[in-house]
Amino acid sequence: MSDSPFRQNADLRAATRLAHDAPQDRHSVTPPVFQSSLFCFDTVEEMAARFRGENQAYVYSRGDNPGVEAFEQKIAALEGAEAARAFSSGMGAISATLMSLLQAGARVVCVRDVYADTYRFLEKLMSRYGVRTEYVDGCDRAALAAALPGASVLYLESPTSWTFRTQDLAHAAQAARAHGVVTVCDNSWATPLHQQPLALGIDLVLHSASKYIGGHSDTVAGVVAGSKARIAALNALSYPYLGAKLAPWEAWLLLRGMRTLDVRLRAQWACAEALMEKLASHAAVRRILHPAWQCGPGNQYLHGFSSLFSIELDAAYDPLRFCNALRLFKRGVSWGGHESLALPAQVALQGAAPNAQADFGVSPALVRLYIGLEDMHDLWRDLEQGLAQAVC
Ligand SMILES: *Cc1c(COP(=O)(O)O)cnc(C)c1O
């Protein structure tokens, strides 16, 4: 396993790091896909040496694969991390990370309005293993400080899902460290281009790579990054046994998607910003939930904005009728790909408890909008006609 080619070029800007891959065999400009479950040894002595940890040869693709490793190194370089570990989904990264840090009797402090399946993982599964979670308002420093003593993990997501409120990551990291609490931050919305939690003192940063990082709605993947010691602890405890490894072909798709991450984000933000301006002056829109439109204690750490936000509709407009009337915006979960999407809070709130939206008081008048790569004028015409048809 080679050292990251990006580390020797620490002065390169993110866009350049994204555009280039490590030098390849036979001067290929893209990496090969090592679609192999295992890697062989010339002698049993070499194999024994590998198992003693005396060399770094590849063994088995549940543990290590060269293409997956290339993706991990690229993410680590962008996040300013020593190491990273890729997973078959964002939830794979979240569950393996938390399970490596928690044991029976432990308490998690988690920000409110966290991603719904992270909430369900803590409430439905971790609760069965004696792990209790306390949810705090991430904007409330005093509540956070009061919850930390005796906790094992502080779990953050900045900005949060649906409400898009940021947390003061530097302050939270410092307060947690003072109590020996490990900090984890979901950075999927900002991407490593717009926020680097590790530089603010956070211990582990993780992503759903299914979103902006992949960028083309064709891959489900996740990744966690941090110090060598923290990733080694995850490798020793949860990663090999939960088995949620990233497939070589999906790692290749992620590397391909990442080459355009910088230009995609720029274009999408320009479009989203223009649309939010227009939405803000429309009679149907009560408020816009996005860090550019609401103050938050962690807004200062965002170097740029993303194109996922919520709008709260006036009571005279029906969010479901609005979503059904849209022609260019598709109705769907997820985000981060080429296509614009609409998701009403009422519909996302499915089934019985535990349910993050209901428990955190997310307004049923919210519609989450994701702006993809289409033309701004076409999208605005679609939103305008959708709102016109949504009048109750
Ligand atoms: C989608 C998402 C996840 C989960 O990622 P998957 O790749 O779908 O498992 C985690 N956090 C946030 C903020 C997300 O939007």
Q: Which ligand 1 atom is nearest residue 94's CA? A: 10
Please compute the mean of the pLDDT values over residues 94-104 and round it to a whole number.
98
CA distance linking residue 370 with residue 385, whole number of Å: 17
- Does residue 367 contact residue 322 with C-beta atoms inside 8 Å? yes
- Local confidence band at 2 (pLDDT 50, 70, 90 cut-offs): very low
What pLDDT score was predicted for residue 10? 66
Burial class (CB in 10 A: 0-12, 13-18, 19+), 312: middle
Query: pLDDT averaged over the chain?
Result: 95
317 flagged as catalytic: no
* DSSP structural state of residue 12: S
Q: What's the distance, Cα to Cα, between the start and end of the chain in Å?
A: 61
What pLDDT score was predicted for residue 11? 79
Closest residue by CA, ligand 1 atom 7: 90
Query: Tens digit of pLDDT for each residue in 321-349?
Result: 999 999 999 999 999 999 999 999 999 87
For residue 7, is pLDDT > 60?
no
Please compute the mean of the pLDDT values over residues 89-101 and round it to a whole number.
98
For residue 357, is pLDDT > 90?
no
For residue 1, is pLDDT > 50?
no
Beta bridge partners of 153: 108, 182
- Looking at this protein, which amino acid is placed at residue 300? Q
- Does residue 172 contact residue 151 with C-beta atoms inside 8 Å? no
Instruction: Calculate what percentage of the chain has a pLDDT beyond 90.
Output: 88
60 flagged as catalytic: no
Tell me how far the alpha carbon of residue 97 lies from the centroid of ligand 1, in angstroms: 14
318 flagged as catalytic: no
* DSSP structural state of residue 199: G
- Local confidence band at 3 (pLDDT 50, 70, 90 cut-offs): very low
Higher pLDDT, 3 or 14: 14
186 flagged as catalytic: yes
Q: Which of 62, 177, 286, 287 is catalytic?
A: 62
Tell me how far the alpha carbon of residue 242 lies from the centroid of ligand 1, in angstroms: 18
The ligand 1 site (C-beta within 6 Å) comprises 89-91, 115, 157, 161, 186, 188, 208, 210-211, 220, 222
* DSSP structural state of residue 4: P
Higher pLDDT, 13 or 66: 66
- Give the global pTM: 0.96
Tell me how far the alpha carbon of residue 90 lies from the centroid of ligand 1, in angstroms: 5
Three-state DSSP class for residue 350: coil
For residue 6, is pLDDT > 70?
no
Tell me how far the alpha carbon of residue 295 lies from the centroid of ligand 1, in angstroms: 24
Q: Which of 21, 113, 186, 203 is catalytic?
A: 186
Q: Which of 98, 166, 211, 220 to mutate to test the pocket of ligand 1 (most atoms within 8 A of CB)?
A: 211
Tell me how far the alpha carbon of residue 383 lies from the centroid of ligand 1, in angstroms: 26
C-alpha distances (whole Å) from 330 to each of 103, 127, 333, 337 are 42, 36, 9, 12
Query: Tens digit of pLDDT for each residue in 117-149?
Result: 999 999 999 999 999 999 999 999 899 989 999
What pLDDT score was predicted for residue 9? 62
Angle of helix 261-280 versus helix 376-388 axis, rounded to 10: 40
CA distance linking residue 172 with residue 188, whole number of Å: 18
Q: Which of 98, 163, 210, 310 to mutate to test the pocket of ligand 1 (most atoms within 8 A of CB)?
A: 210
- Looking at this protein, which amino acid is placed at residue 208? S
Instruction: Calculate what percentage of the chain has a pLDDT beyond 70.
Output: 97
- Local confidence band at 387 (pLDDT 50, 70, 90 cut-offs): very high
Query: Tens digit of pLDDT for each residue in 12-52?
Result: 888 888 888 888 888 899 999 999 999 999 999 999 999 99
